[in-house]
Amino acid sequence: AAEPLVAAERPVEERFAAFSSRSPDLGALRAQERQSIELACVEAKLAGPTSWNRCRNMHLAALGGRSGRPDLSAPTPDARQSAELTCVDDKLAGPVPYNRCLAAVADEFARAGAGG
């Protein structure tokens, strides 16, 4: 018997079938989160508008429909850019993992600031 496919191996249409095919309203999100959703859904976009909308709806649902980006008060612009580069792989996975990574980096900044 063949082993079941993991989610990433299933066709794009199957992966997002449970989500609405209507175009989501991403207007309430910050630009970084919208960009992260668009990047995470590139493959779905190539599969067509239904898959693309479902993918974007899935990521919007994961955010709970609101922005969750942490305050990234870096000591310098270079430090902030470094933080965003540190989280680039997470950004490609979607806004929830990206925000989680940025929060961890922000915690590192806070600890470094408190200890230094």
The mean pLDDT of 23-45, rounded to a whole number, is 89
In a domain, 38, yes or no: yes
Q: What is the Cα–Cα distance from 83 to 87, expressed in whole angstroms?
A: 6
Amino acid at 16: F
Tell me whether residue 3 is exposed, middle or buried, using C-beta atoms within 10 angstroms of its C-beta: 0 to 12, 13 to 18, 19 or more.
exposed
98 or 19, higher pLDDT: 98
In a domain, 34, yes or no: yes
In a domain, 1, yes or no: no
In a domain, 102, yes or no: yes
DSSP string, 54-93: HHHHHHHHHHTTS--------SSHHHHHHHHHHTHHHHHH
Q: What is the pTM of this model?
A: 0.67
Q: Residue 24 is part of which domain span?
A: 7-115
The mean pLDDT of 95-111, rounded to a whole number, is 87
SS3 content of the chain, % helix, strand, coil (to 5): 65, 0, 35
In a domain, 2, yes or no: no
Per-residue pLDDT tens digits for 52-98:
999 999 898 888 755 666 766 666 777 778 888 899 999 999 999 99
